[in-house]
Chain A
Amino acid sequence: MKKIEAIIKPFKLDDVKEALNELGIQGMTISEVKGYGRQKGHKEIYRGAEYIVDFIPKIKIEIVIEAKMVDQVVDKIRTSASTGKIGDGKIFVTPVEQAVRVRTGEKGMDAL
């Protein structure tokens, strides 16, 4: 099993969700996060006082999938989340040791 964490632009969430549904991905967890990379922040000015806003709002999607699907899913997220402009986000893949469904106690792939 692999976990995919994708940090994307908030307004791209619906596109990514639909694209993953097409692949048969049945669930995901998202959180509203803030951060910066190459995009950097922006400037706001209030009565001449300049404030740099470093951390830009993003959405983090977390999904756990079968290892053999990784390339396909990563590719799907990348194409659906891309706008071609700086600040589109990043995708990370990590191995997952175990998964347990709380209601039934099923383990491994059965729990996904």
Chain B
Amino acid sequence: MKLKFRMMFLTLTMIFAPASLAFAGDAAINSGDTAWMIVSTALVMMMTPAGLALFYGGMSRYKNLLNTVAMTFMAYCIASVLWVFIGYTLAFGPDVGGFIGSLEHIGMHGITVKSVTGTIPTYVFALFQMTFAGITVALILGSIVDRMKFSAWLLFTALWVIIIYCPIAHWVWGGGWLAQIGALDFAGGNVVHINAGVAGLVLSLMLGKRIGYGKETMFPSSIALTGLGAALLWFGWFGFNAGSQLAADGLAGSAFLTTNTSAAMGGIAWMFTEWYVTKKPTLLGIASGVVAGLVSITPASGFVDLQGALIIGLVAGVLGFNSVSKLKHKLGYDDSLDAFGVHGLCGVWGALATGIFANPSVNPNGTGLLYGNPKQLMIQAISILATAGFTAIGTWAVVCITRMIVGGLRVERDDEIAGLDNSQHGERAFEILIS
């Protein structure tokens, strides 16, 4: 009995020791928050080379699957290195005119193991933000798979992170002008989804359609992979949204609740819409609906209540289905895996919905239209237009520079027909013996 109590005491001391040590060393660091943010960072990291790679890879044609996965991996690698070198300071360094961060922390200069942001170490904050830069640029490739030169993609990624992502992240989260006018974006509706969706649309228009688009059959290589990818995205999204509270507290829990609810509603809504319109409930539709629901709740997750989340997810599923199956064919652009249709348009809906459903009893920092603040909807509209406008023009410029330096954006015609796995990488995704 005595021994048991002693063991319990020892265990308890071990649990609380790090916390008390942290408080002794630096009053601002909270070990619970820090632990949650390290986990969240790892969760969001997984969304890119695992979640998105499978989600997109499964939708690519069998001959381009590895190219899609390789582009996703490299987007994360390049964003990681650039972020710690220059991205972090451009986005979160001291504000310069509301537009960009200064170069004070270039190469993480001046940041040490003792530096604190909020209640967590600055290193953890910077890494958490790094995973967002990585996934944002990787999302763009959904618009352009099956045809872009690998070297062009690498250069585009590097330029885009610095020239487009960092300023917009600064505007919204780094104390820039959108933060100053009161735009609400809890976890990245503007910064991540509208930004990536619009950039994808611009890039796909500049690249042109795939050979045979609209005439040939273009079967996804494996909807099973896409389903697993969507599941990993969903899992990681808890870090993405609940982690964006930057603390392990009640609001993080609320963001977790709204995130999961909206995702589930999105999946249900897309499935029933598709079932009604095209007579079959597809797994691709269910997986896409979940992602649409997640995208839409992203900016709203820390501001809205459960009812808000239900409506946001419901609308996201219906909107997503119509944008990829109707709007895209009507307008005739080849957004191969629907980065614009799912992330761009559902991101816009999420940003507007934040201005409608933000409930001050959930988070006092946000009051929406339904709670007597119609001005918020206006501010949200301004933030959407500013983000979309900046990323459209900026992406166009980045693509022009890329085209000039690497000499063309697209692979050769024969290489595209043979498939990018073979022509760009000399590999194949599957070894299938056809008898």
Interface size class of chain A, counting residues whose CB lies under 8 Å from the partner chain: 10 to 19
From DSSP, what is the main secondary structure of chain A's interface residues? strand
From DSSP, what is the main secondary structure of chain B's interface residues? helix
| Chain A 59-78 residues near chain B, CB threshold 8 A | none
Q: Which residue of A lies closest to B217 (CB)?
A: A51
| Chain A 32-88 residues near chain B, CB threshold 8 A | 32, 44-49, 51-53
User: How long is the Cα–Cα vector from A44 to B285 in the complex, in angstroms?
Assistant: 13
Q: Is A31 an interface residue (CB 8 A)?
A: yes
Residues of A within 8 A of B325 (CB): 47-49
Residues of B within 8 A of A45 (CB): 278, 280, 282
Contacting pair A47 B338 (CB below 8 A): yes
Contacting pair B326 A46 (CB below 8 A): no
User: How long is the Cα–Cα vector from A31 to B434 in the complex, in angstroms?
Assistant: 10
Q: Is B299 an interface residue (CB 8 A)?
A: no
| Chain A 3-53 residues near chain B, CB threshold 8 A | 31-32, 44-49, 51-53
Contacting pair A48 B219 (CB below 8 A): no
Contacting pair A46 B219 (CB below 8 A): yes
Q: Is B324 an interface residue (CB 8 A)?
A: yes
Contacting pair A48 B280 (CB below 8 A): no
User: Inter-chain contact count A-B, CB under 8 Å?
Assistant: 31
Q: How many residues of B contact A (CB 8 A)?
A: 18
Q: Which residue of B lies closest to A54 (CB)?
A: B217
Residues of A within 8 A of B260 (CB): none
Residues of A within 8 A of B328 (CB): 48
A47, A51, A52, A53 — most chain B CB neighbours (10 Å): A47
Residues of A within 8 A of B217 (CB): 51-53
Q: Mark B261-290, 1 if CB is under 8 A from A, else 0.
A: 000000000000000001010101100100
Q: Is B112 an interface residue (CB 8 A)?
A: no
Contacting pair B435 A32 (CB below 8 A): yes
Residues of B within 8 A of A48 (CB): 278, 321, 324-326, 328-329
Residues of B within 8 A of A32 (CB): 435
User: How long is the Cα–Cα vector from A48 to B326 in the complex, in angstroms?
Assistant: 7
Q: Mark B23-52, 1 if CB is under 8 A from A, else 0.
A: 000000000000000000000000000000
Residues of B within 8 A of A52 (CB): 217
Contacting pair B435 A46 (CB below 8 A): no
Residues of A within 8 A of B326 (CB): 48
Q: Which residue of B lies closest to A44 (CB)?
A: B219
Q: Is B378 an interface residue (CB 8 A)?
A: no
Seen from chain A, the residues whose Cβ lies within 8 Å of a Cβ on chain B are: 31-32, 44-49, 51-53
Seen from chain B, the residues whose Cβ lies within 8 Å of a Cβ on chain A are: 217-220, 278, 280, 282, 284-285, 288, 321, 324-326, 328-329, 338, 435
A-B contacts, 29 of them at CB < 8 A, read A31-B435, A32-B435, A44-B219, A45-B278, A45-B280, A45-B282, A46-B219, A46-B220, A46-B282, A46-B284, A47-B284, A47-B285, A47-B288, A47-B325, A47-B338, A48-B278, A48-B321, A48-B324, A48-B325, A48-B326, A48-B328, A48-B329, A49-B218, A49-B325, A49-B329, A51-B218, A51-B219, A52-B217, A53-B217
15 additional contacts (CB under 8 A) given A45-B278, A46-B284: A31-B435, A32-B435, A44-B219, A45-B282, A46-B219, A47-B285, A47-B288, A47-B338, A48-B321, A48-B328, A48-B329, A49-B218, A49-B329, A51-B219, A53-B217
